[in-house]
Amino acid sequence: MSDILKSSISELKEKLDSKQVKPSELAEAYLGQINKLNSDINAYISVNESLMDEAKALDSKQEKGELSGKLAGIPLGIKDLLCVKGQRNTAGSKILENFVAPYTSTVSQKLLDEGALVLGKCNLDEFAMGSSNETSYYGKVKNPWNYEYVPGGSSGGSAAAVAAGMAAATIGTDTGGSVRQPASFCGIVGVKPTYGRVSRYGIVAFASSLDQAGPMTRTVKDAALMSEVISGHDPYDQTTAQEAVPEWSKSLKQDLKGLKIGLPKEYFTDAITEDTKKVVDNAIEIVKKRGAEVIEVSLPLVKHAVPVYYLVATSEASSNLSRYDGVRYGYRSDFSKKPAESLEEFYSRTRGEGFGSEVKRRIILGTYCLSSGYYDAYYKKACQVRRLIRDEFMQAFNSCDVMLSPVTTSPAFKAGERINDPVQMYSNDIFTTSTNLAGLPGMSVPGGFSQEGLPIGIQLTAAHFQEQKMFDVAYSIEQELQLKEVPNVL
Amino acid sequence: MSYSDWEVVIGLEIHAQLKTDSKMFSEDSTQFGGGDNKNTSPVSFGLPGALPVTNEKAVEMSVKTGLALNCSIREKSVFARKNYFYPDLPKGYQISQYDEPICEEGYIDILLDGEKKRIGIERAHMEEDAGKSTHHGEYTLINLNRAGVPLLEIVSKPDMRSAKEAAQYARSVRSILRYIDICDGNLEEGSMRCDCNISVRKPGEPLGTKVELKNINSFRFVEKAIEYEAQRQVDLKEAGEEIHQETRLYDSTKNQTFSMRKKENAHDYRYFPDPDLLPVIVEQSWIENIKNNLPELPLKKAERFQQEYGLPEYDAFVLTTEREMAEYFETTAKACGNAKSASNWIMVELLRRLNDADQSIEDSPIKADMLAKLIQLIDNKTISGKIAKTVFQDMYDSGKDPEAIVKEKGLTQITDTSAIEKMIDEIIAANPGQVEQYKSGKNKLFGFFVGQVMKASKGQANPEMVNQILKSKLDS
C-alpha cells in the first residue's frame, strides 16, 4: 500500500480505471496513514466520518464501470477554511470550534461533482493568519520531513498531509503565500490561481481582495488537473472571472522554446541562503536547457509589498472577522455565571476568548488602518501602492512570460523560532505577497533540498490568466529533476 | 406655528424599500409570511464564507428613482462597508454606499398652500436593511427576514423651513416612488422610513447643531414630531442653553421626543469599499432608456390636469397623488367627455366611500368606464342628478352597469310632454282648494304642486319640464 500513498492522482486514476484498486481500498489506505501519523503531524483537524460509506458507494459504481469524473475515487484533504456541508469548519479557531457548515463551498462542490472523496479538514493557522502553522487553536502542524521544523503556513496542514501520504492531494488557500510557502517547505506542488479564477464562495474570508484557493499536489500534472476542476465563473462570487478554463493538464509541455523567463532582480538578494540560491540557480539552468530565454526584469516597488500587504490584508480582515460575534453561531463566552452587563461586554468577552493573539493583533492593526484620520495615510495609500505594484508587474510581463524566483529566502525554519517576532515572521512573505497584491497566478514547484535535507521550492509567476505557461515551466523543471525523495514517514 | 424670530432648518433621510422579489445581495425572497428567519440563506445569515451578489433589479430601480428625483446618475458607483456591531447586523457591517453613491444632486418641486418650492436632494444610495430585534426582558430574539432587503436612502438638503413643508416633501417623495412603482411607500409597515434632521438658528446665521429624529411612522407624525422638536430647541436656545447633537425618538402617544443616544463619541464606521463586490457600472444608454420610459410624475400631471381639464388646483393635486387615481380620473373624463363632473363624482362620492372603507382606487367596485357611463346618462338627460346618486350607490354595492340598473328599476327620466301634462292635470283636479289659494296670490304653493308631481312620477319627471308645464297650466 505504501506506493499508493506516494502515487500521484494520475497514477491512482489508472489503478482505479483498471480496477487494480477499489475506491474503498484507497480511502482505507489514506485513512490508515492519517490514523498512524496525525497524532504526530497534526495535519487534520477533523476526519470525515462517513468517508468509508461514501467510498463503498463508489466501489459499486466502479464495478459497474460507472466511475466517472476527473477525480472519481481520489481521496483529498480540504483546508478547514472551506465549508463542506455537514462537516465542522473551524478556520483553526476556537471561535468556530463547534461550527458545522450547513452549506458547501463552490470549490468543494466542484471537487465532489468530479467524484472526489473528502478525507477530512486540514489544519491551518488560525483564520489563515500565519506563516508557520503555529497559530492554530488545534495545535501546530509538524513538517513531515523533520518534525522539528514548521510545515509553513497558513496551509500547513494541507501541505503536510500531501507530503506525508495522508491525502492524494489537498486544497489550500493563498492570501499572501499560504499555498506556495508551505508547498515549498514540504516539497510538494502548490498553486495560487489568478485572482478571480476560483470562487471564494463558502471559504472563510481572510482578505477578500487577495484570497484564492488552490491545489497542493505531488505533481505538476495533478496541480493542473485540480486547478481546472476548481476554476470557473461562479454566480455566487461576483469577483470570479468569465474567462474560459483550459484543460491545462492535457496541454503540458516540457519544451520551453520561445518562452521568456524573467528573473526579478529584487528577488535575488543577499538574504537568500546558499542552499536556496543553489536550488534556484539549478532551476534557471534547467529552463535554459529546455529552450527558454532567461532575462533579468526589475520590479522596484516590490520592496513595499510586505507593508502594503499587511495594511490591505489586515484592514479587510478586521471587517471580515466581525461576523464572529457569538450571536448566531460559533463560540460564545459563558455568561451563566457572570452575565454581560452590556452589549459591548458580550462582544468583548466572546471575541476576547474566542480569538487567538495573532488574529487579535491583525484585527487591531486593520481596525486602526481603517479608522477615520488614519484611513488616508494607511489603507488608502496602501491601495494606491498596490495598484502601482500591479502596473509594474503588467509592465514586466510585456518583456517576459513567466517569472522565476525563490519562494522564500530559506527552507523551513524551526518551530518556535519566529513565533514571538511578528516582523521577522511577516518578512517571510517577502517574495510571495506581491503576487496576491497584483492578482497574478503563482506556484511553487519542488526544486531540491538543503543540506539538512529540507525541501526547497521554486516560485513561478505568470501574467493574469496565463496559468498554462506557468504550468509548462514547472512541468519542465519537474521532469528534468525527477526528484524521488520522500519523507521517512512514508 | 411660529418660533418668534428663530428659523427651523430641516433635512430628511428617507429609506425606501425597493420592490424587488429578492434581497439586495442574495436570492432570498423579500416576501415575508413564511415565519421567523425563513427568508434567509448563508448570505442573509452572515455565515462564514458567504458572499454578496448585487441584485441588478435593485440597481435599475435606484437609477429610475434617481432620474425621477432629477439626480445625476454615477456611471460608476461603489458599495462600501459600514462597520459596527449590533446583534441584528449579521456580518458586523452593513453594505451601503459611501463616497460614490449611485444618485447625486437632484431636487423635487413641492406644492404647499398654492406655492411651489424646490427641495434639493443631496444623494440617494443603495444599501441593505438589518434584521429585527425584539426584546423580551431577559432575552432578545432576532429575526433576519429583513436582513439584506434592498433600501434606497434618499437624503435631502437642509432646505425645509417648517414641519408642514417637511411633511409635504415626504408625501411628494412617496407619491413619486409609488408613481414609478419602486416602493410601496407604507410608513406604518416600514417599507418607507423617515428620519428628520432638525436644527434652529437666527436667519442668516450658520446652521445650528442638528438633532436626528427617528421612529416616525406617519406623515402626520412627521409634522407633529418636528413641531415639537423645533419648539423644544427654540425653548432651550431662548433659555440660553446648548443643543446637543443626538438621536431622539418620537413618542406619538405623548407627542414628545426623547433622547435615544448621544452622539458625543460619534461612531467611527470605518467605511471602505467592499472587496466582495465589483463597482456598479451603468451605461449612459441604459440610463437614457430608463429615463425615456419614466411615467409622467405627479406634479407635472397635476399641472396638466389644470390646463387640459380646467380643474381647480386643489382637485388636480388630490387626483394626482396616486398614479392609479389619476389614471382613473383621466379614463373617466375621456370616456364621458365631462372632466368637471368626473372630478366631482370621484372627489365627493367615490373617495368618501373608499376612504371610509380604507380602500384604494384599485379596490373601487365602480370601474372608470362605468362611472363615465353614469355621467353620460345624466348629461343626455336619461336620468336626473338626483336619481344618479341612488344609481351610484347601487353601482357601488352591486358593481353593476348603470344602464342596467336604470333599465331594471325603470328609473329613466320622464321627458314625454303629454305624460307630464297628464300627471299635472290629475294633480290640479285632485287639489281644487290649493289651486284656488294659488290663484288668489299664494305663490308659495307652487312648490307644493312640483312636489306632488315629482312624487307621482317617483322622481322621474324631468324637473324643468314639470316647472314649465305646471306654470303655464296654473297661470292660464
A162: domain CATH number?
Answer: 3.90.1300.10
A49, A88 in Cβ contact below 8 A?
no
Task: Give the angle subtended at the CA of A152 by the CAs of A147 and A153, to the nearest 5°.
Answer: 130
Q: Is A416 on the interface with B (CB under 8 A)?
A: no
Inter-chain contact B270–A371, Cβ cutoff 8 Å?
A: yes
For residue B1, give the DSSP letter. Answer: -
Host domain of residue A40: 2-259+470-481
Beta bridge partners of B139: B136
Q: Over the stretch B189-244, which tens digit does the pLDDT of each residue have?
A: 889 999 999 999 999 899 999 999 987 888 889 999 999 999 999 999 999 999 98
Between CA B170 and CA B193 the distance in angstroms is 10
What values do phi and psi take at B123, rounded to 5? -165, 165
**Residue of B49, B52, B85 lying closest to A204 (CB–CB):** B49
**Residue of B45, B49, B272 lying closest to A202 (CB–CB):** B49
- Predicted pLDDT of residue B77: 97
Out of A396-400, A413-417, B399-403, pick the least confident. B399-403
Matching residue, cell 495522508? A166
Averaged pLDDT score across all residues of chain B:
92
Inter-chain contact A327–B270, Cβ cutoff 8 Å?
A: no
Between CA A213 and CA A219 the distance in angstroms is 17
Query: H helices of A42-88, where?
Result: 51-63
Sheet containing strand B272-273, strands side by side: B93-97, B79-83, B272-273
Sign of CA dihedral B65, B69, B75, B78: negative
Judged by DSSP in three states, A120 sits in strand
Q: Which of B246, B250, B249, B241 is nearest to B266 (CA)?
A: B246
- Predicted pLDDT of residue B277: 98
- Predicted pLDDT of residue A186: 98
Between CA B407 and CA B396 the distance in angstroms is 17
Task: Give the angle subtended at the CA of A275 by the CAs of A271 and A278, to the nearest 5°.
Answer: 100
- Predicted pLDDT of residue B386: 82
Averaged pLDDT score across all residues of chain A:
96
Give yes or no for residue A350 having a pLDDT over 60.
Answer: yes
Is residue A486, in this structure, part of any structural domain at all?
no
- Predicted pLDDT of residue B262: 65
Mutate to test the interface with A, among B37, B51, B132 (most CBs of A within 10 A): B51
Q: Which three cell numbers stand for residue B28?
A: 432570498
Between CA A290 and CA A284 the distance in angstroms is 10
Between CA B41 and CA B176 the distance in angstroms is 33
A458, A478 in Cβ contact below 8 A?
no
What values do phi and psi take at B197, rounded to 5? -105, 125
Between CA B294 and CA B286 the distance in angstroms is 13
Inter-chain contact B53–A237, Cβ cutoff 8 Å?
A: yes
pLDDT grade for A2, boundaries at 50, 70 and 90: low
Matching residue, cell 366631482? B344
Judged by DSSP in three states, A18 sits in coil
Inter-chain contact A328–B91, Cβ cutoff 8 Å?
A: no
In angstroms, what CA-CA distances link A323 with A367, B44, B84, B183?
14, 12, 10, 30
Q: Which three cell numbers stand for residue A269?
A: 538578494
Q: Over the stretch B49-97, which tens digit does the pLDDT of each residue have?
A: 999 999 999 999 999 999 999 999 999 999 999 999 999 999 999 999 9
pLDDT grade for A69, boundaries at 50, 70 and 90: very high
Inter-chain contact A322–B93, Cβ cutoff 8 Å?
A: yes
- Predicted pLDDT of residue B266: 65
Mean pLDDT of B130-151: 93
Position B365: which residue type? P
Inter-chain contact B48–A323, Cβ cutoff 8 Å?
A: yes
B10, B165 in Cβ contact below 8 A?
yes
Q: Predicted ipTM?
A: 0.96
Mean pLDDT of B309-316: 91
Inter-chain contact A202–B50, Cβ cutoff 8 Å?
A: yes
CA distance B36 to chain A (A): 14
Dmax over CA atoms of chain A, in Å, equals 71
| Assigned CATH for B417-475 | 1.10.10.410
Mean pLDDT of A338-365: 96
Q: Other C-beta atoms within 10 Å of A482: how many?
A: 6
Give yes or no for residue B264 having a pLDDT over 60.
Answer: no
- Predicted pLDDT of residue B265: 55
Mean pLDDT of A23-48: 98
Beta strand pairing status for A402-406 and A260-264?
Answer: parallel
Between CA A108 and CA A236 the distance in angstroms is 14
What values do phi and psi take at B274, rounded to 5? -70, 115
Between CA B474 and CA B421 the distance in angstroms is 12
Q: Over the stretch B339-365, which tens digit does the pLDDT of each residue have?
A: 999 999 999 999 999 989 888 898 899
Mean pLDDT of B175-181: 95
Matching residue, cell 494607511? A378
B42, B83 in Cβ contact below 8 A?
no
Q: Is A352 on the interface with B (CB under 8 A)?
A: no
Between CA B61 and CA B293 the distance in angstroms is 12
Q: Over the stretch B443-474, which tens digit does the pLDDT of each residue have?
A: 888 889 888 888 888 888 888 888 888 888 88
Q: Which residues of B touch A343 (CB under 8 A)?
A: 85-87
Q: State CA A296 to chain mean position distance.
A: 28
- Predicted pLDDT of residue B10: 97
Percent of chain A residues topping a pLDDT of 90:
96
**Residue of B48, B52, B81 lying closest to A319 (CB–CB):** B81
Out of A59-63, A365-369, B260-264, pick the least confident. B260-264
- Predicted pLDDT of residue B270: 97
A236, A201 in Cβ contact below 8 A?
yes
Between CA A220 and CA A251 the distance in angstroms is 12
Percent of chain B residues topping a pLDDT of 70:
98
Q: Where are the domains of chain B?
A: 8-205+263-289, 296-409, 417-475
Q: Which residues of B touch A237 (CB under 8 A)?
A: 51, 53
Give yes or no for residue B33 having a pLDDT over 80.
Answer: no
- B interface residues, A as partner, C-beta within 8 Å: 42, 45-54, 81, 83, 85-87, 90-93, 142, 268, 270-272, 275-278
Q: Which residues of A touch B271 (CB under 8 A)?
A: 370
Q: Over the stretch A450-490, which tens digit does the pLDDT of each residue have?
A: 999 999 999 999 999 999 999 999 999 999 999 999 999 98
Q: Which three cell numbers stand for residue A151?
A: 510545515
Between CA A463 and CA A262 the distance in angstroms is 12
Q: Which three cell numbers stand for residue B113?
A: 398652500
Q: Which three cell numbers stand for residue A397?
A: 510581463
Between CA A121 and CA A397 the distance in angstroms is 37
Q: Which three cell numbers stand for residue B409?
A: 328599476
Between CA B341 and CA B333 the distance in angstroms is 8
Mean pLDDT of B405-426: 83
Q: Is A39 on the interface with B (CB under 8 A)?
A: no
**Residue of A202, A322, A367 lying closest to B91 (CB–CB):** A322
Between CA B271 and CA B226 the distance in angstroms is 30
Q: State CA B59 to chain mean position distance.
A: 24
Task: Give the angle subtended at the CA of B192 by the CAs of B197 and B278, to the nearest 5°.
Answer: 90
- Predicted pLDDT of residue B415: 78
Judged by DSSP in three states, B311 sits in coil
Residue, of A402 and B412, whose pLDDT is higher: A402
A74, A113 in Cβ contact below 8 A?
no
Percent of chain A residues topping a pLDDT of 70:
100
Sheet containing strand B115-128, strands side by side: B72-73, B103-112, B115-128, B150-156, B7-17, B192-201, B211-216, B246-251, B256-262
Q: Which three cell numbers stand for residue A351?
A: 471575541
Overall size of chain A counted in residues: 490
pTM (2 d.p.): 0.91
B29, B21 in Cβ contact below 8 A?
yes
Mean pLDDT of A17-37: 97
- Predicted pLDDT of residue B2: 63
Closest chain B residue to A368, measured at CA: B270
Matching residue, cell 470605518? B270
**Number of alpha helices (DSSP H) and beta strands (DSSP E) in chain A:** 16, 11
Q: Which residues contact B417 (CB under 8 A, 6 or more apart)?
A: B465, B469
Give yes or no for residue B1 having a pLDDT over 60.
Answer: no
Q: Which of A425, A359, A43 is nearest to A206 (CA)?
A: A359
- Predicted pLDDT of residue B263: 55
Mutate to test the interface with B, among A327, A343, A372 (most CBs of B within 10 A): A327
Q: Which residues contact A358 (CB under 8 A, 6 or more apart)?
A: A125, A126, A129, A130, A135, A422
Q: How many domains does chain A have?
A: 1
Is residue B476 packed enough to be buried (19+ CB in 10 Å), middle (13-18) or exposed (0-12)?
exposed
| Active site residues per annotation of A | 79, 154, 178
DSSP per residue over B12-23, as a string? EEEEEE---SB-
